[in-house]
C-alpha cells in the first residue's frame, strides 16, 4: 500500500458521488412502528429524505466504485474509506414516538429521569445519564467463540439523536479493512458514555477489545464506557419463568415483540462467508435486519426492566418477578425496597411465600427488630408445606441470643438437626464440619436449658 493510501486511511470520509442519505421517516400521522403498540411482522419501511450529512456521508476526494452499488443503495448503505480500503455504513432513522413492542422509544427519557429521582444505587441505574449518551450495541461475528480467530464483521448500535432513534451499522466489506471499520465506528460513537448490551460484558465488548488490539497502531483508542448488560438482569428476573433467556424469547414473552422471517443469529457467519464469495450484499441483508431488531429491542428491554425495578410498588411485576426484584435489592443492600417486595409475597399464597418470610425475617433481624423476625418465622411453622432447615436454625439463634429462651432454642436446633440428618441420609459420609457444629450447639443448649439429649440422638443412620 502506498504512503498516500496509508495516510488516507486515517481520514474519516465517505465516498460516493453526489446523492443523499436515505433515512427512515414517520408515516403519515406518526403511527407506531407496529399498529396498536404491538410489534408487527417487519420493521417500518424507511424512506428517503434529505438529512444533514454526518461524517460517514461526507463525499470523499475521489468516488469509490462499490460492487452492486444499487443493492447497497437499497439497503441505505454508503462506503467509508477509500477505493482500496473501505467499509459500508448503513443508517436508518425512526422518530422517538414510534413503538417497538410494549413501549415507545421516547419512554427511555422517562425511565432515566425516574432512576435519578429514585436515589437508588443499582447496576442498571441510568441516573445522571442522558438518553443521548447510551449506545445500544450489538455485534455479528464469524463465530460464537471468542479469541483472535473470531472476526467481527458488523458493529451495530441504536442511539437517540435529537428527536430520532438512529440505527447505525458498520459492515466489514472486506476482511483486510478492519482498521477502517474501527475508524468509522469510533468516529461515530463520540459522546456516548454507556453501552447497553445483551451479554456484551462477556462476549461483544471483550471481542471488540481483542480485534481492536490487532489494529491499535492505526486507529484511535477505545473509549472507556460504563456498561449495562441486560442479560444478567433478564436472567435474574426470568430464569425460573422462561425456558431460555435468549433475546428472542424475551421479546416474545415479555416485550410484545414478534419477529417474522428473521435470520437466526447462528446463521450470520454463513451469510457473511456467502457474501465474501461474490461481494453481493444480498446474502447479508437478513443479518442487517436481524441486528437492527436486536439494537432496537435493547431500548425496549432497558425500559421494561427499569420500569419493573422502579414501579414494583405499583403492582407492575408478577409475584415471581417481585420475588426476584426483592432478592436483587436484598443483595445490593437496598433493604427498604427488598422488605417491601418480600412482604407482598409473604402475605400471599404464592409458592414462594415461605422463602419470602424467611428472607423478610432476616432483614428484620438485621435491623434489630427481633420481635417481628420471631413472629414472621414462627408463622411459617403454621403454614402447610416444607419447612426449611435454615428456618429452624435462625429461630434457634434468635431464641438463644436475643430472647434467652434456651428451651425453645434447643427445640428448634433439634428440629434443624433432624432435617439435616434426612438431607444427608444417603451420603456415605456425613459432612464433618456441619455435624460437629450441630453437636456443639446442642451440647451448649442442653447445658443452658438444664436438660440432656435423648439417648442415641447423635446416632448416625
292, 156 in Cβ contact below 8 A?
yes
399: exposed, middle or buried (C-beta count within 10 Å: 0-12, 13-18, 19+)? buried
Closest residue by Cα to residue 173 from 61, 92, 80: 80
Residue 455 belongs to a domain? no
Asked if the model's pLDDT at residue 453 lies above 80, the reply is no
Instruction: Calculate mean pLDDT across residues 396-414.
Output: 96
Supply the mean pLDDT for the chain.
87
Distance CA(73)–CA(15), nearest Å, equals 13
Residue percentage of the chain with pLDDT more than 70: 83
Residue 26: pLDDT band by 50, 70, 90 thresholds?
very low
| pLDDT digits 0-9 by tens, 123-182 | 999 999 999 999 999 999 998 766 667 899 999 999 999 999 999 999 999 999 999 999
Distance CA(132)–CA(134), nearest Å, equals 6
Give Dmax over CA atoms of the chain in angstroms. Answer: 97
Predicted local confidence at residue 148, as pLDDT: 64
| pLDDT digits 0-9 by tens, 216-261 | 999 999 999 999 999 999 999 999 999 999 999 999 999 999 998 9
Asked if the model's pLDDT at residue 192 lies above 60, the reply is yes
332 with 284, same domain: the answer is no
- Domain of 168, CATH number, reads 3.30.420.10
Predicted local confidence at residue 457, as pLDDT: 52
283 with 328, same domain: the answer is no
Predicted local confidence at residue 429, as pLDDT: 85
Give the neighbor-by-neighbor strand order of the sheet with 134-141: 77-82, 85-95, 164-171, 152-161, 134-141, 194-197, 226-229
143 with 118, same domain: the answer is yes
Distance CA(362)–CA(383), nearest Å, equals 18
H or E, element range at 331: helix 319-332
Q: Which of 257, 277, 310 is the last residue of a domain?
A: 310
Report DSSP state, residue 22.
E
100 with 214, same domain: the answer is yes
34 with 74, same domain: the answer is yes
279 with 326, same domain: the answer is no
Predicted local confidence at residue 33, as pLDDT: 45
- Domain of 332, CATH number, reads 1.25.40.10
Predicted local confidence at residue 45, as pLDDT: 52
Q: Which of 310, 328, 358 is the last residue of a domain?
A: 310
Asked if the model's pLDDT at residue 196 lies above 70, the reply is yes
Residue 281 belongs to a domain? yes
328 with 297, same domain: the answer is no
- Count of domains in the chain? 2
Measured CA to CA in angstroms, residue 429 lies from 390, 417, 424, 439 at distances of 21, 16, 8, 16
Asked if the model's pLDDT at residue 37 lies above 60, the reply is no
Asked if the model's pLDDT at residue 24 lies above 60, the reply is no
Asked if the model's pLDDT at residue 375 lies above 60, the reply is yes
Report DSSP state, residue 142.
S
Closest residue by Cα to residue 373 from 363, 382, 383: 363
| pLDDT digits 0-9 by tens, 280-334 | 999 999 999 999 999 999 999 999 999 999 999 887 799 999 999 999 999 999 9
372 with 247, same domain: the answer is no
Distance CA(227)–CA(225), nearest Å, equals 6
**Residue 443 lies in domain:** 314-449
Helix axes 432-449, 406-423, angle to 10 degrees: 160
Q: Which of 243, 276, 310 is the last residue of a domain?
A: 310
∠ CA 175-281-87, nearest 5°, is 40
359 with 274, same domain: the answer is no
Residue 72 belongs to a domain? yes
Amino acid at each position: 500500500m502506498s504512503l498516500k493510501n496509508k495516510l488516507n486511511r486515517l481520514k474519516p470520509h465517505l465516498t460516493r458521488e453526489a446523492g443523499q442519505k436515505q433515512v427512515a421517516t414517520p408515516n403519515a400521522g406518526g403511527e407506531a412502528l407496529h399498529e396498536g403498540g404491538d410489534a408487527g411482522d417487519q420493521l417500518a419501511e424507511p424512506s428517503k429524505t434529505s438529512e444533514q450529512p454526518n461524517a460517514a456521508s461526507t463525499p470523499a476526494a475521489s468516488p469509490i466504485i462499490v460492487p452492486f452499488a444499487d443493492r447497497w443503495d437499497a439497503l441505505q448503505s454508503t462506503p467509508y474509506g477509500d477505493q482500496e480500503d473501505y467499509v459500508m455504513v448503513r443508517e436508518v432513522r425512526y422518530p422517538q414516538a414510534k413503538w417497538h413492542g410494549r413501549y415507545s422509544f421516547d419512554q427511555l427519557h422517562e425511565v432515566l429521569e425516574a432512576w435519578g429521582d429514585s436515589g437508588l444505587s443499582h447496576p442498571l441505574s441510568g441516573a445522571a445519564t442522558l438518553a443521548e449518551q447510551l449506545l445500544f450495541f450489538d455485534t455479528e461475528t464469524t463465530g460464537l467463540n471468542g479469541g483472535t480467530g473470531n472476526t467481527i464483521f458488523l458493529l451495530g448500535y441504536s442511539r437517540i439523536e435529537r428527536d430520532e432513534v438512529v440505527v447505525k451499522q458498520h459492515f466489514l466489506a472486506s476482511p483486510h479493512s478492519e482498521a477502517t471499520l474501527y475508524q468509522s465506528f469510533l468516529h461515530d460513537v463520540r459522546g456516548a458514555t454507556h453501552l447497553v448490551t445483551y451479554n456484551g460484558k462477556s462476549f461483544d465488548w471483550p471481542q471488540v477489545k481483542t480485534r481492536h488490539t490487532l489494529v491499535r497502531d492505526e486507529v484511535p483508542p477505545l473509549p472507556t464506557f460504563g456498561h449495562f448488560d441486560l442479560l444478567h438482569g433478564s436472567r435474574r428476573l426470568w430464569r425460573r419463568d422462561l425456558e431460555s433467556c435468549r433475546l428472542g424469547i424475551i421479546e416474545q414473552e415479555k416485550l410484545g415483540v414478534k419477529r417474522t422471517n428473521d435470520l437466526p443469529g447462528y446463521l450470520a457467519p454463513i451469510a457473511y462467508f456467502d457474501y465474501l464469495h461474490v461481494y453481493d450484499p444480498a446474502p447479508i441483508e437478513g443479518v442487517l435486519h436481524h441486528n437492527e431488531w436486536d439494537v432496537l429491542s435493547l431500548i425496549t428491554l432497558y425500559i421494561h426492566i427499569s420500569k419493573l425495578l422502579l414501579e414494583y410498588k405499583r403492582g407492575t411485576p408478577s409475584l415471581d418477578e417481585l420475588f426476584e426484584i426483592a432478592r436483587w435489592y436484598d443483595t445490593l443492600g437496598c433493604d427498604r425496597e427488598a422488605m417491601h417486595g418480600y412482604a407482598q409475597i409473604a402475605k400471599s399464597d404464592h409458592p414462594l411465600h415461605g422463602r419470602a418470610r424467611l428472607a423478610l425475617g432476616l432483614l428484620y433481624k438485621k435491623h434489630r427488630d427481633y420481635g417481628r423476625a420471631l413472629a414472621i418465622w414462627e408463622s411459617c411453622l403454621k403454614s402447610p408445606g416444607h419447612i426449611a432447615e435454615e428456618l429452624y436454625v435462625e429461630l434457634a439463634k434468635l431464641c438463644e441470643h436475643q430472647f434467652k429462651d434456651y428451651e425453645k432454642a434447643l427445640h428448634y436446633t433439634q428440629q434443624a438437626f433432624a432435617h439435616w440428618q434426612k438431607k444427608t441420609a444417603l451420603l456415605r459420609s456425613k459432612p464433618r464440619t456441619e455435624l460437629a457444629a450441630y453437636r456443639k450447639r446442642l451440647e451448649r443448649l442442653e447445658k443452658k436449658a438444664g436438660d440432656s439429649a435423648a439417648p442415641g440422638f447423635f446416632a448416625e443412620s
